[in-house]
Amino acid sequence: MDQRLQDLLQLLELERLELNLFRGESRDIGSPQVFGGQVLGQALSAAAATVDGRVVHSLHAYFLRRGDFKAPIVYEVDRSLDGHSFSNRRVVAIQHGQQIFNMTASFQVAESGFEHQILMPEVPAPESLPASDSPPAEVLAQLPERVRRFFELPRPFEFRMVRPIEYLRPRREAPAREIWFRAVGPLPDDEMLHRRLLAYVSDFFLLDTATLPHGTSLLRPTLVMASIDHAMWFHRTLRVDDWLLYAMDSPSASGARGFARASVFARDGRLIASAAQEGLVRSKGVS
């Protein structure tokens, strides 16, 4: 297995301290705080460790405080419900004695029922698009050191942008973006593992969509962005080691908050998951 994936899988494996208490390590990916996808994935790992024979179908999470990537995170699981078909878990993440995150997740036994879905957007195939894991070298050299470091660290996922991102001169455009992504190597046949990894990678790019109509980006020192909440619904079986299309749009921004939502499609057109996120989007000096 690719070393980058091995490192990510190790990051999502937690140490069990008590029946419902877990501890996870943190990782520096070049961002100023713990990456939100890490906390999502680890919290989902903690919840799943208390559920047998069911896979997660939805989660709803709040980011309360910035996480410190230099310190471990403790996850406390509350077994809210174990019903005939569904199990519900509430997870609280604690660091330095304070809650930094909480999440509720619901798990379900496999069942069949009605089937329908929206169509996948018509976009170029990922093989026809250039790799987008990092800006071109000439652009990377002009980025601030904090941003350049984020792109230079190895990532366990590769990305292909349907439309290139203008890092240095962002332009005003419609609040929508499509990105292909997949893990950098093959993974085991474990549905819960693939759902945990999708939760991890779903925190990339989503909130950025809310900045597109305003011609700005995180590279602007006056822009402050931070995730407030994150929700996901898992509709069908999935594999993150095959190409997935992340089709995002931002219906609204107001009150110093941006809202974005996304559909995740498998290569064959199946809608496998949906996501939504609201976050702080504020210019410095504006209360």
Residue 120 placed within a domain:
no
Residue 208 placed within a domain:
yes
* pLDDT tops 60 at residue 285: no
* pLDDT tops 60 at residue 286: no
Q: Please state at what angle helix 191-201 crosses helix 3-12, rounded to 10 degrees.
A: 100
Q: What is the pLDDT of residues 26-44, one digit of tens each?
A: 988 777 789 999 999 999 9
Q: Which pair of tokens denotes residue 83?
A: 């019903």
- Nearest one of 139, 134, 176 to 158, comparing CA atoms: 134
Residue 121 placed within a domain:
no
Between 218 and 99, residue with greater pLDDT: 99
Confidence band (pLDDT; 50, 70, 90) for 224?
confident
- Kind of pairing between the strands at 98-108 and 86-95: antiparallel
184 burial type by CB count under 10 A (0-12 exposed, 13-18 middle, 19+ buried): middle
Q: Compute the distance between CA of residue 257 and CA of residue 281 in angstroms, rounded to an integer.
A: 5
Q: What is the pLDDT of residues 141-153, one digit of tens each?
A: 777 776 677 777 7
Between 13 and 134, residue with greater pLDDT: 13
Residue 257 is predicted with a pLDDT of: 95
- Kind of pairing between the strands at 223-234 and 55-63: antiparallel
pTM of the complete model: 0.92
Beta bridge partner(s), residue 274: 233, 263
Residue 119 placed within a domain:
no
Structural domains counted in the chain: 1
Q: Which of 227, 250, 263, 274 is catalytic?
A: 227
Residue 202 placed within a domain:
yes
Beta bridge partner(s), residue 253: 258
Q: Compute the distance between CA of residue 254 and CA of residue 164 in angstroms, rounded to an integer.
A: 26
Q: Which of 26, 42, 45, 203 is catalytic?
A: 203
Q: What is the pLDDT of residues 161-207, one digit of tens each?
A: 999 887 777 889 999 999 999 999 999 999 999 999 999 999 999 99
Residue 118 placed within a domain:
no
Residue 58 placed within a domain:
yes
Active site residue 277: yes
Q: Compute the distance between CA of residue 3 and CA of residue 64 in angstroms, rounded to an integer.
A: 32
What Å distances lie between residue 209 and 39, 172, 255, CA to CA? 21, 11, 16
DSSP label of 127: G
Confidence band (pLDDT; 50, 70, 90) for 287?
very low
Q: Which amino acid is at 190?
A: D
Active site residue 227: yes
The range of the structural domain enclosing residue 267 comes to 3-111+126-283
- Kind of pairing between the strands at 55-63 and 176-183: unpaired
Share of the chain above pLDDT 90, in %: 78
Residue 117 placed within a domain:
no
Beta bridge partner(s), residue 93: 75, 101
In CATH, what number is assigned to the domain containing residue 102?
2.40.160.210
Active site residue 26: no
